[in-house]
């Protein structure tokens, strides 16, 4: 379950690439921050699905909630 906002993916990845290009060399803090931003962006889809279907379709909401919990654990 990945976010479907194609323009948002471009904005996120281009800004991360520009930051890495400006940085010049790999940095542990930059790697951690990149992983944090990508994880937070990927987590957006299951959390919004969980919120949207919480009352209308509880089984779909629980699947999205379980997926979000799994991603949060990773």
Predicted confidence band at 3 (pLDDT cuts at 50, 70, 90)? low
pLDDT value for 61? 87
What CA dihedral angle connects 71, 50, 6 and 41, to 10 degrees?
A: -40
Q: Could you read off the pLDDT of 61-71 as tens digits, one per residue?
A: 888 888 888 88
SS3 state of residue 61: helix
Q: Could you read off the pLDDT of 43-63 as tens digits, one per residue?
A: 888 888 888 888 888 888 888
Ranges assigned E (strand) in 1-74: none
pLDDT value for 1? 58
Question: CA–CA separation, 40 vs 10, rounded Å?
Answer: 15
Q: Could you read off the pLDDT of 10-19 as tens digits, one per residue?
A: 888 888 889 8
Say if residues 2 and 45 touch (Cβ distance below 8 Å): yes
């Amino acid at each position: 379950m990945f976010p479907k906002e194609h323009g948002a993916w471009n904005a996120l990845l281009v800004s991360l690439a520009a930051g890495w290009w400006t940085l010049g060399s790999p940095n542990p803090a930059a790697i951690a921050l990149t992983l944090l931003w990508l994880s937070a962006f990927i987590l957006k889809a299951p959390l919004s699905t969980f919120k949207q279907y919480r009352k209308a379709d509880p089984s779909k909401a629980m699947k999205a909630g379980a997926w979000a919990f799994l991603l949060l654990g990773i």
